[in-house]
Chains A and B, each alone.
Chain A
Amino acid sequence: KNQVEQSPQSLIILEGKNCTLQCNYTVSPFSNLRWYKQDTGRGPVSLTIMTFSENTKSNGRYTATLDADTKQSSLHITASQLSDSASYICVVSAKGVSSGDKLTFGTGTRLAVRP
């Protein structure tokens, strides 16, 4: 069964600090891995998409890494801001199927950035 597990479930950090969120998956065959940011009460917004051959991808202060061998990904947030407070969701897509129908969603890491 395809699964995506994220850790930690929740995290509190001080403004300006860095943090790293983890995602482990067992989706097969692997196609791509996406990180989404979901503000409370809003729809998720795509941060990064990585395919099998990509190890690192950045989007501003967000840097995602992928180790396809160990089936692990991380999302590193640098110099956190209050606006980074949100849930971060890891989504893994299986190869050979159309976008969306075989996406497996993690339950997310809830990040709170305190002043």
Chain B
Amino acid sequence: DSGVTQTPKHLITATGQRVTLRCSPRSGDLSVYWYQQSLDQGLQFLIQYYNGEERAKGNILERFSAQQFPDLHSELNLSSLELGDSALYFCASSAGGGSPLHFGNGTRLTVT
């Protein structure tokens, strides 16, 4: 158990809809990262938050947004969903520096 909790585990929705994915980081970790993994693809970095503030952005679409709350949990909001947004969305947390990332088990999003 990595200590990172992601909900929901599965999400099925229609094109054009909006969904929110939730992540609770490992206790004590201030950094939260979001990654997208499409079928048979590598992990693509979306965005990083550190102690409530956006730290870095990757290949995140404008239709996607995220935030980290004072209790350090984070939410990833995906809007105007398209079929191509179907993927596994992983959250990871870290204590920072060279320490390893601890990944949750992901939310599998299916857009129909």
A contacts, CB < 8 Å to B:
31-32, 34, 41-46, 49, 51, 89, 93, 97-103, 105-108
- CB-based closest 9 A-B pairs: A101-B56, A43-B103, A46-B100, A107-B42, A100-B33, A105-B43, A105-B42, A43-B105, A101-B48
Please measure, in the bound complex, the distance between the C-alpha atom of A108 and the C-alpha atom of B2, giving whole angstroms. Answer: 20
Contact A41 B94 (CB under 8 A): no
Instruction: Known A101-B45, A105-B43; judge A46-B101 contact (CB<8 A).
Output: yes
Contacts A89-B42, A93-B98: A98 and B31 contacting too (C-beta < 8 A)? yes
Q: Which residues of B contact A (CB under 8 A)?
A: 2, 4, 31, 33, 41-45, 48, 50, 55-56, 58, 88, 90, 92, 94, 96-106, 108
